[in-house]
Amino acid sequence: MPEKSQIPPRLKLVLAVMFCTLPSLCEARAILWGQMQGFTGKALRDGLDFWAGGFLLLHHQLPLLFDHMAYQSFLQGLYGKLPYHLWSYPPSYALIAAAFGWLAPWHAVLAFDAVTLLLLALVLRLAGKSWWLIAALALAPASLESMLEHQNAALMTALIGGGLLLTQARPRLGGALIGLATIKPQLGLVLPLYLLRRAPIAFMYAVLAAVVLAAASLWAFGPAAWQGFINFTSPAMSSVLLTGQPPEFAGGLISVFALAKPYAGVQGALIVQAVVSVLAVLLGLKTRSVPALLILSALASPYLHDYDLLGAALAVALLMEQRLATGFLPGEGVLFGLVWAGPGLLPWVPQYAHAAPLLLVLLLASAWRRGGVAPCDSSPAQPGSPVSSAGRSPTPAPPESTAPG
């Protein structure tokens, strides 16, 4: 019989996680080079919009956010010629940007990255997750890409993923977190009906949190902020989705809509995405699986970027946690690796964008499969082992069981 590998499973996982960081670290090196060459505006990437929004709001310059030419002139007056920039967030998100807008640009975006990552760690610890899982998620390529873009994936994963994990033991807190996720509503399409059916108390607190957040933004910025969002920002983002212009915004989309558009055209892709979104909402009503809900949330969103897959990375981490106890099907580990590593590969291998929705569907099937897998080793179990009928019972599934319904 061939000798088994002596590398402990946990060490293998650590090495795999570290290996998957390499593409993002190479990208970080390129960004650092750009900063050293004086391309600060380009190096800030999406963080420039985050800082500019907060800065302008604190200085009572709200109209600039909804005047494309004036907004571009403001940014180029600071950093010279820049790619296309657009304030693309609702006023509720502007509350967060304003909290950091008093800092210098780099200080603001780095502080935001650190605070949201710490929030993610805190929420996952409250949900009973290990430091190993938290550390792995912090180093996931989707997390690194979010930090390189200075995007909000850690915040959204804390609110949605953490909220779902907490709905059983702490439904009020879990619901409130999910309600705050309305700052990016396209990632929560599956959640309202799920909460209404499975956790009515959490649903009530989610609605309350969403209303309070909207009311706070109305009080802080006035009705003009919401009017600008409805009349300018929302149509502009719809145009980005439908036309694919400018490519700086639309080029990195990895949604079902983006996959279908080259083959079915805009109208056909909208129909395909609508069918998938409705199906995801209905399937969400049939499951109690947190990994499945995170995957369905990604599939339901027509506007999805690589960093938005941090929720799917959390699903992979939760599934890996379970499979280490119950066993893997053939190819399941490879699937987990492709979903985990994909966001870091996307800047170097753009074709991954076409594979992402299909990988999410396969991951969903994995999340829903029942039962464990018989061990490859046919030797008799030792007394008292998890697989011995004379010993203790098999390891129970964690609260976020992957069994449907």
State the residue range of the domain holding 316.
31-368
**Which pLDDT does position 254 carry in this prediction?**
93
Establish if 272 belongs to a structural domain: yes
What's the chain's average pLDDT? 88
Establish if 206 belongs to a structural domain: yes
pTM, entire model: 0.88
> Over 60: is that where the pLDDT of 404 sits?
no
| Chain segment 304-344, per-residue pLDDT in tens | 999 999 999 999 999 999 998 888 899 999 999 999 999 99
Establish if 374 belongs to a structural domain: no
Establish if 393 belongs to a structural domain: no
Establish if 299 belongs to a structural domain: yes
Q: How many domains does the chain have?
A: 1
SS (H, E, C) the chain: CCCCCCCCHHHHHHHHHHHHCHHHHHHHHHHHHHHHCCCHHHHHCCHHHHHHHHHHHHCCCHHHHHCHHHHHHHHHHHHCCCCCCCCCCCHHHHHHHHHHCCCCHHHHHHHHHHHHHHHHHHHHHHCCCCHHHHHHHHCCHHHHHHHHHCCCHHHHHHHHHHHHHHCCCCHHHHHHHHHHHHHCHHHCCCHHHHHHHHCHHHHHHHHHHHHHHHHHHHHHHCHHHHHHHHHHHHHHHHHHHHHCCCHHHHCCCCCHHHHHHHHHHHHHHHHHHHHHHHHHHHHHCCECCHHHHHHHHHHHCCCCCHHHHHHHHHHHHHHHHHHHHHCCCCCHHHHHHHHHHHHHHCCCCCCHHHHHHHHHHHHHHHHHCCCCCCCCCCCCCCCCCCCCCCCCCCCCCCCCCCCEC
Establish if 227 belongs to a structural domain: yes
Establish if 23 belongs to a structural domain: no
Instruction: Choose the weakest-confidence range: 216-220, 277-281, 386-390.
Output: 386-390
> Over 50: is that where the pLDDT of 395 sits?
no
| Chain segment 50-81, per-residue pLDDT in tens | 999 999 999 999 999 999 899 999 999 999 88
Establish if 383 belongs to a structural domain: no
